[in-house]
């Protein structure tokens, strides 16, 4: 066996152990070293050179990245998740002919969908969805995310919140927690448009807070432009922004006239 590959797999074992131990720092360190080691393999994307150990190398690299994705969920680091997921993706899409399907694939894809939903990047969510083959849609992990998105779009926010109980994998929990916040933001955005003001009590119910304090804290952090007066929340300030764009009519008229003049002059 190739010494490099051995080295990588040794590191990988230590990395897995660290993950199991929940030793975040050590595992992050090891991961970084692993990634550097992986760059020396020429069989990996984007080169995909055919080397004798190509299949082992690809498999191990995929495993490493899958673990990296899961680790990032554990760490609650969305950026890292995105990074690692994108590096992992070529192993799913472009290496399909070279590798058997990974058992974790659907779980990770589902996680990614969930992430997009949490970040409210709906367009990308659908792009990803379209790229999936039909049979993947049947997978419970994917299905879960799709259903969530549907409820989310319909505005059936309570269904979104109750879906937390039915997660297919415990690593989804992290995103489901975040999703509650996304839902709240969405509601806040809508109420802002829909009402001039709301009583604190209504606002608390609307935004799914259990206490007024939580509500006030939220308003302070996320929507400082809202005003709290006489026991109600006033959205007035937020509406004042964004004046409509003016049409530069005078300029347009001038331009048209000068064209007409020039046309007359020509020859």
Partner 1 sequence: MAATMVSSAGGLLAMLNESHPLLKQHALLNLNNYVDQFWPEISTSVTIIESLYEDEEFDQHQRQLAALLVSKVFYYLEEFNDSLSYALGAGSLFDVSEDSDYVHTLLAKAIDEYASLKTKASECSADVESIDPRLEAIVERMLDKCITDGKYQQAMGIAIECRRLDKLEEAISRSDNVHGTLSYCIGVSHSFINRREYRCEVLRLLVNVYQKLPSPDYLSICQCLMFLDEPEGVASILEKLLRSENKDDALLAFQIAFDLVENEHQAFLLNVRDRLPTPKSQPLESANPRSTEPVSGQTEDSTASEDVPMDEGASASTTSTPQIDQSEETYSERLTKIKGILSGETSIQLTLQFLYSHNKSDLLILKAIKQSVEMRNSVCHSATIYSNAIMHAGTTVDTFLRENLDWLSRATNWAKFSATAGLGVIHRGHLQQGRSLMAPYLPQGGAGGGGSPYSEGGALYALGLIHANHGEGIKQFLRDSLRSTNVEVIQHGACLGLGLAALGTADEDIYDDIKSVLYTDSAVAGEAAGIGMGLLMVGTASEKASEMLTYAHETQHEKIIRGLALGIALTVYGREEEADTLIEQMTRDQDPIIRYGGMYALALAYGGTANNKAIRQLLHFAVSDVSDDVRRTAVLALGFVMYSEPEQTPRIVSLLSESYNPHVRYGAALAVGISCAGTGLSEAISLLEPLTSDVVDFVRQGALIAMAMVMVQMNEASDSRVGTFRRQLEKIILDKHEDTMSKMGAILASGILDAGGRNVTIRLLSKTKHDKITAVVGLAVFSQFWYWYPLIYFISLSFSATAFIGLNYDLKVPKFDFISNAKPSLFEYPKPTIVPTATSAVKLPTAVLSTSAKATKARAKKEAEQKANTEKAAAAAAGEPSSAVANTGKGKSSEKDGDSMQVDNPPEKKAEPEPSFELVTNPARVVPSQEKYIKFMEDSRYVPVKSAPSGFVLLRDLKPTEPEVLSLTDAPSSTNASPPAAAAPAPAAGGQQAMAVDDEPQPPQPFEYTS
- Residues of this chain that interact with partner 1 (CB under 8 A) are 32, 35-36, 39, 45-48, 79, 82-90, 93-94, 265-267
Cα distances (Å, whole numbers) of residue 124 to 118, 120, 153? 12, 9, 15
Minimum gap (Å) between residue 200 Cβ and partner 1: 42
Beta pairing class for 232-234 and 227-229? antiparallel
Residue 6 or 93 with smaller CB distance to partner 1: 93
Residue 119 phi/psi, 5-degree rounding, is -80, 5
Residue 90 or 168 with smaller CB distance to partner 1: 90
Minimum gap (Å) between residue 100 Cβ and partner 1: 19
Minimum gap (Å) between residue 261 Cβ and partner 1: 11
Beta pairing class for 227-229 and 197-199? unpaired
Distance CA 10, CA 41 (A): 16
What is the signed CA dihedral for 92, 93, 95, 98, rounded to 10 degrees?
90
Residue 51 or 232 with smaller CB distance to partner 1: 51
Residue 34 or 219 with smaller CB distance to partner 1: 34
Distance CA 242, CA 211 (A): 33
Distance CA 152, CA 145 (A): 10
Minimum gap (Å) between residue 87 Cβ and partner 1: 5
Minimum gap (Å) between residue 36 Cβ and partner 1: 5
Residue 247 or 267 with smaller CB distance to partner 1: 267
Q: Is the dihedral of CA 215, 220, 226, 229 positive or negative?
A: positive
């Amino acid at each position: 066996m190739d010494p490099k590959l051995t080295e990588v797999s040794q590191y990988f074992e230590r990395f897995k152990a660290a993950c199991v131990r929940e030793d975040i720092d050590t595992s992050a360190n090891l991961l970084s070293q692993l990634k550097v080691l992986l760059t020396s393999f020429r069989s990996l994307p984007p080169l995909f050179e055919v080397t004798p150990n190509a299949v082992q190398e690809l498999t191990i690299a995929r495993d490493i990245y899958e673990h990296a994705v899961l680790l990032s969920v554990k760490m609650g680091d969305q950026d890292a998740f995105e990074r690692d997921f994108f590096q992992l993706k070529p192993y799913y899409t472009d290496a399909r002919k070279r590798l058997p399907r990974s058992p974790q694939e659907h779980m990770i894809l589902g996680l990614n969908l969930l992430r997009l939903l949490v970040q409210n990047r709906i367009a990308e969510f659908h792009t990803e969805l379209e790229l999936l083959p039909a049979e993947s849609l049947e997978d419970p992990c994917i299905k879960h995310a799709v259903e969530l998105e549907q409820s989310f779009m319909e505005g059936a926010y309570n269904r979104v919140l109750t879906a937390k109980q039915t997660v297919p994998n415990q690593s989804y929990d992290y995103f489901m927690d975040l999703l509650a916040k996304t839902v709240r933001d969405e509601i806040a955005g809508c109420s802002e448009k829909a009402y001039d003001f709301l009583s604190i009590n209504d606002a608390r119910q609307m935004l799914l807070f259990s206490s007024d304090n939580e509500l006030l804290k939220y308003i302070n952090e996320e929507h400082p432009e809202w005003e709290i007066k006489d026991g109600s929340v006033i959205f007035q300030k937020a509406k004042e922004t964004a004046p409509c764009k003016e049409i530069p009519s005078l300029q347009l008229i001038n331009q048209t006239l000068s064209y007409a003049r020039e046309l007359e002059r020509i020859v």
